[in-house]
């Protein structure tokens, strides 16, 4: 039992330094760190103690030997040379985990098979008994790692990963593994704070992983005290008496720890569905008297421990992988910083994030940062001392407090705050951007009020360094970021975006929760029409006496092309008594205008069922339904089959489409002549066709002017909000000669 073994402890990447310190404190000798692992020497007692007490390791491996291997046969013979009768009964079960390649081993499955064959052949009895394979609950789990011609053969003493403490049977949408949560707490200094009687609070606790790990540290609970099944349970080298002694010592320490007055450890979670699962996790961990979870929004977070004690605020706020989350997350982090400044003075704070640039938006200066990995995602732990002299102002501060925010069903749901604080100072660039918005608002707002326009473009990359389109939809702001060219430093582009996002609410005096941001870049096929989110929130807006539904969150476009406003109003004015045809109709906003203008009938054609359903709602919203046809189909094929006549036709095709539901590929430059010929064949005598598209390099084929009366009307179809961008679209009026 006093023999020294080579022990290898595996861990998530980035935890090696902490794991080495922890393992040394638990008895590991001559330890050294490797990538995602620590190796050293220790007795069986040390190995047991590491299994029981390590908060950071995934597995504890006991090395049986190292062997040079230059072929598959050499691998087999190396494994066969071990006396497996010391480790496993012939009637037992085993599982093999193999990693590495080389020496004739071209895949891990083949390598695992050779190791299994060697062990089975070694233990096969004269009567034919042999070990079986059980991948899920084996008596012995064998690790074989082949690297640079050397095989390292080990047995896994831990069994399933040590991060699985057993208390977390229910979890949220994006949980941290328990050992990563423990590492964050250790880096944040929680063990020392707990020893001093400090408090801990998590304002976005989910199901309470930080809280439980912090409680176990404070109460001196071995993280795997309640585990019943171990990798060594049926190992023939297991010494039950030694294990029972260590386990009893851990139980005694736990009893003594829990008998002490509990520390103040609290979590707050906005999603009511996570409250009970979190409380269940706490009870399973045996910390019901130490840790409490309450329902609460971030915007009202205010820890209130007894006797005005201070401590640690720790959280893992959402950091999102979609650009559509950018505005919401910006304000979330700003609100977190504001809550810390207002309610946690003299506390310490630890924010774990996969988006460190958002951490800069908190208005606090981190005094330490640590790199971690959350699976394959590189992350940082930002540490703050919430002291008055640490408060900073600059480009990333909020113009106004962020909305309350919570994650529900994978979506960030926002609520406007009850109280708005004074605007924070903007950077020089942010202030310039804000000034331009206010200037445009003064000019365009007067025009919009006079003409009754509720939705219009306020800003369209007026300043080249701020390549955004900013649209007002009543009291909402829809922001589209144009993808920067490759010549622009991505960090600078991101910084300018954050500048602009901070400036928008202040410049427009609008609640930050009503700002939606998306990225606009060169699209292929239907990509611009694909779903971006799943919120399904529609807003009713007015235009020219009709009501239209817009959706600011779920798609790249909102359901209403603002630049076509004059064309829609023109159609309304000319539609009385006419049969109207709307091709590539999208959400059929032009159709609604035609119906409002008294069209005798309307026919709208689009390939997308989603947008035709939207069109149906737009029509029904205005009381139109019976005589307005909605046709799903490929426009070109539909036109070739149609035999109707129409006095008014509107065509606004995509630049490019390769939908699976259509034959071939549509290219507006290549195919517009054929498209217009088909449509003009359906134009009734005396009728008018309006053709528009937004392909900036588009050139109308001169041959069309030989067959039809063609007049470009682009300038007539632009309102003042698009006068700064006359290339937003081009439009023509066609009629028979």
pLDDT digits (tens, 9 = 90+) for 157-200: 999 999 999 998 866 555 799 999 999 999 999 999 999 999 99
pLDDT beyond 50 at 323: no
Angle at 322 between CA 316 and CA 328, to 5 degrees: 60
Strand order in the sheet with 93-99: 29-34, 37-42, 5-10, 59-68, 150-156, 140-147, 93-99, 132-133
Considering only 25-39, 175-189, 620-634, which range has the smallest mean pLDDT? 620-634
Considering only 26-40, 158-172, 581-595, which range has the smallest mean pLDDT? 158-172
pLDDT of residue 588: 97
CB 153 within 8 A of CB 65: yes
Cα separation of 732 and 600, whole Å?
A: 24
Cα separation of 282 and 607, whole Å?
A: 52
Best CA proximity match to 251, nearest among 216, 226, 217, 274: 226
pLDDT of residue 621: 86
Distances (CA, A) of 452 to 441, 456, 474, 509, 590: 15, 11, 11, 20, 18
pLDDT of residue 398: 31
- The alpha carbon torsion through 206, 212, 214, 215 (nearest 10 deg) reads 140
Long-range contacts of 616-622 (CB under 8 A, 24+ apart): 617/538, 617/549, 618/547, 618/548, 618/549, 618/587, 618/588, 618/589, 618/591, 618/592, 619/588, 619/591, 619/592, 619/595, 621/540, 621/547, 621/548, 621/549, 622/546, 622/547, 622/592, 622/595, 622/596
pLDDT tier at 1, thresholds 50, 70, 90: very low
Cα separation of 163 and 186, whole Å?
A: 15
CB 549 within 8 A of CB 621: yes
Tokens of 556: 């790249």
Average pLDDT, the chain: 88
Tokens of 340: 């810390």
Instruction: Give the position of tokens 């059980």.
Output: 134
What domains are there in the chain, each with its CATH number? 5-156 (3.30.2130.30), 178-219+260-415 (3.40.50.150), 428-521 (3.30.750.80), 528-736 (3.40.50.150)
Angle at 246 between CA 243 and CA 248, to 5 degrees: 105
Cα separation of 264 and 244, whole Å?
A: 32
CB 557 within 8 A of CB 530: no
pLDDT of residue 395: 32
Query: Residue 551's CB: how many other CB atoms inside 10 A?
Result: 20
pLDDT of residue 402: 33
Considering only 466-480, 530-544, 621-635, 686-700, which range has the smallest mean pLDDT? 530-544
For residue 637, report the phi and psi dihedrals to the nearest 5 degrees: -65, -40
pLDDT of residue 320: 63
**What is the average per-residue pLDDT within 18-42?**
96
Q: Which residue has the higher pLDDT, 442 or 1?
A: 442
pLDDT beyond 80 at 426: yes
pLDDT of residue 493: 82
CB 71 within 8 A of CB 104: yes
Instruction: Give the position of tokens 């988006």.
Output: 355
- Give me the count of residues in the chain: 737
Tokens of 117: 């064959």
CB 295 within 8 A of CB 269: yes
**Which residues have a Cβ under 8 Å from the Cβ of 379 and sit 6 or more positions away?**
352, 353, 354, 371, 372, 373
């Amino acid at each position: 039992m006093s023999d020294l073994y080579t022990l290898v402890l595996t861990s998530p990447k980035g935890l090696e330094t902490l794991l080495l310190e922890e393992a040394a404190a638990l008895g590991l000798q001559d330890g050294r760190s490797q990538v995602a692992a620590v190796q050293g020497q220790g007795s069986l007692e040390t190995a047991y103690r590491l299994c029981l007490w390590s908060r950071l390791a995934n597995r504890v491996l006991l090395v049986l030997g190292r062997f040079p291997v230059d072929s598959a046969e050499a691998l087999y013979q190396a494994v066969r040379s071990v006396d497996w009768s010391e480790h496993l009964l012939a009637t037992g079960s085993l599982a093999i985990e193999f990693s590495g390649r080389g020496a004739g081993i071209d895949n891990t499955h083949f390598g695992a098979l050779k190791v299994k064959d060697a062990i089975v052949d070694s233990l096969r009895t004269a009567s034919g008994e042999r070990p079986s394979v059980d991948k899920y609950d084996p008596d012995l789990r064998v690790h074989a790692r082949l690297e640079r011609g050397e095989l390292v053969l080990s047995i896994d003493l831990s069994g399933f990963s040590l991060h699985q403490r057993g208390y977390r049977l229910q979890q949220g949408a994006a949980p941290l593994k328990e050992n990563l949560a423990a590492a964050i707490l250790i880096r944040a200094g929680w063990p020392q704070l707990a020893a001093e009687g400090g408090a801990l609070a998590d304002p976005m606790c989910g199901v309470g992983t930080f809280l439980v790990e912090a409680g176990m540290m404070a109460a001196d609970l071995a993280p795997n005290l309640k585990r019943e099944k171990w990798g060594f349970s049926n190992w023939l080298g297991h010494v039950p008496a030694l294990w029972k002694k260590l386990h009893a010592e851990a139980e005694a320490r736990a009893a003594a720890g829990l008998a002490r007055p509990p520390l103040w450890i609290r979590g707050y979670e906005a999603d009511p569905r996570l409250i009970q699962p979190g409380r269940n996790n706490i009870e399973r961990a045996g910390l019901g008297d130490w840790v409490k979870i309450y329902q609460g929004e971030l915007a009202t977070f205010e820890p209130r421990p007894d006797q005005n004690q201070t401590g640690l605020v720790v959280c893992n706020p959402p950091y999102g992988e979609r650009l559509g989350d950018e505005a919401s997350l910006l304000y979330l982090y700003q609100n977190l910083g504001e809550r810390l400044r207002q309610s946690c003075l003299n506390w310490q704070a630890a924010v774990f994030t996969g988006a460190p640039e958002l951490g800069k938006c908190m208005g606090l200066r981190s005094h330490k940062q640590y790199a971690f990995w959350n699976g394959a995602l590189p992350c940082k732990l930002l540490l703050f001392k919430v002291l008055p002299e640490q408060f900073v102002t600059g480009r990333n501060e909020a113009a106004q407090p962020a909305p309350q925010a919570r994650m529900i069903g994978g979506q960030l749901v926002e609520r406007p705050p009850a109280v708005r604080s004074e605007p924070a100072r903007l950077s020089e660039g942010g202030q310039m951007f804000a000034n331009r918005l206010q200037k445009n608002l003064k000019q365009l707002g007067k025009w919009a009020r006079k003409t009754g326009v509720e939705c219009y473009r306020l800003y369209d990359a007026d300043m080249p360094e701020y390549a955004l389109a900013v649209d007002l939809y009543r009291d909402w702001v829809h922001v589209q970021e144009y993808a920067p060219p490759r010549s622009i430093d991505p960090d600078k582009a991101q910084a300018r975006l954050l500048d602009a996002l901070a400036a928008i609410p202040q410049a427009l005096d609008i609640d930050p929760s009503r700002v939606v941001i998306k990225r606009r870049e060169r699209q292929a096929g239907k990509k611009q029409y694909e779903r971006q989110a799943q919120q399904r929130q529609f807003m009713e807006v007015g235009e020219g006496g009709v009501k239209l539904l817009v959706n600011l969150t779920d798609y790249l476009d909102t359901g209403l092309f603002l630049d076509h406003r004059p064309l829609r109003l023109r159609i309304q004015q000319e539609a009385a008594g006419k049969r109207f045809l709307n091709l590539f109709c999208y959400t059929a906003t032009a159709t609604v205008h035609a119906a409002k203008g008294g069209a005798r009938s309307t026919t709208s054609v689009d390939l997308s069922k989603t947008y035709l359903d939207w069109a149906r709602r737009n029509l029904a919203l205005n009381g139109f339904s019976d005589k307005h046809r909605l046709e799903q189909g490929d426009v070109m094929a539909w036109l070739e089959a149609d035999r109707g006549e129409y006095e008014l036709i509107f065509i606004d095709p995509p630049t490019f489409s390769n939908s699976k539901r259509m034959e071939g590929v549509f290219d507006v430059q290549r195919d517009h002549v054929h498209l217009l010929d088909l449509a003009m064949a359906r134009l009734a005598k005396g009728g008018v066709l309006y053709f528009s598209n937004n392909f900036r390099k588009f050139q109308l084929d001169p041959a069309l002017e030989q067959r039809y009366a063609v007049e470009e009307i682009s300038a007539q179809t632009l309102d003042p909000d698009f006068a700064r961008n006359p290339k937003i679209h081009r439009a023509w009026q066609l009629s028979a000669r």
